[in-house]
Amino acid sequence: MRSMHRIDPKLDLVLERVVDVPPEMVWAAWTRPEHVVHWFTPAPWRTVDCEIDLRPGGAFRTVMRSPEGKDFPNVGCYLEIVPNEKLVWTDGLLPGYRPAPEPFMTGIILFEPSGRGTKYTAIALHRDEEGRRKHAEMGFAEGWGKALDQLVAHMKRV
């Protein structure tokens, strides 16, 4: 499945890899809280809570905990859901499509069959170049890549 979004290198960050877990398992990792808490935040950070209301306008909420024990809640809403193919969510809107006070990004995750695995594409859309730059400097490529490695390792254990 191809994203309808054209990538703008000034505004968007992209992580694309083929992983040896089938799309249905990658989808489950993204859509079931009992899986999300095991992989979503790159170690040594942890995800300590997750709520998913998997429908357009429904909540995608996580709480990430730093190694020092500080919690960072994140809440957004789903915009588009195509089972085993595509998830789109944003923190620019709260559940029920309520505008968020400080939007940061919209995430698009694409899942495509690739042999016995999945071509995994994660796209982070930002409203301006400054937001993209900050996300890149926060370690987007390394952090999202490490989280994907954790996702694969977790799903191979279940």
In the chain, the domains with their CATH numbers are: 13-157 (3.30.530.20)
Based on the number of CB atoms within 10 Å of its own CB, is 49 exposed (0-12), middle (13-18) or buried (19 or more)? middle
For the entire predicted model, the pTM comes to: 0.93
Residue type, 52: I
Q: How far is CA 50 from CA 13, 36, 65, 76, 116, in A?
A: 24, 7, 12, 12, 29
For position 4, what pLDDT does the model report? 65
Q: How far apart are CA 36 and CA 47, in angstroms?
A: 8
Q: How far apart are CA 93 and CA 104, in angstroms?
A: 10
Q: How far apart are CA 56 and CA 98, in angstroms?
A: 12
pLDDT tens string, the chain, 158 residues long: the values are: 444 678 999 999 999 999 999 999 999 999 999 999 999 999 999 999 999 999 999 999 999 999 999 999 999 999 999 999 999 999 999 999 999 999 999 999 999 999 999 999 999 999 999 999 999 999 999 999 999 999 999 999 99
**3-state secondary structure at position 65:** strand
List CB contacts of 154: < 8 A, sequence separation 6 or more: 29, 35, 38, 39
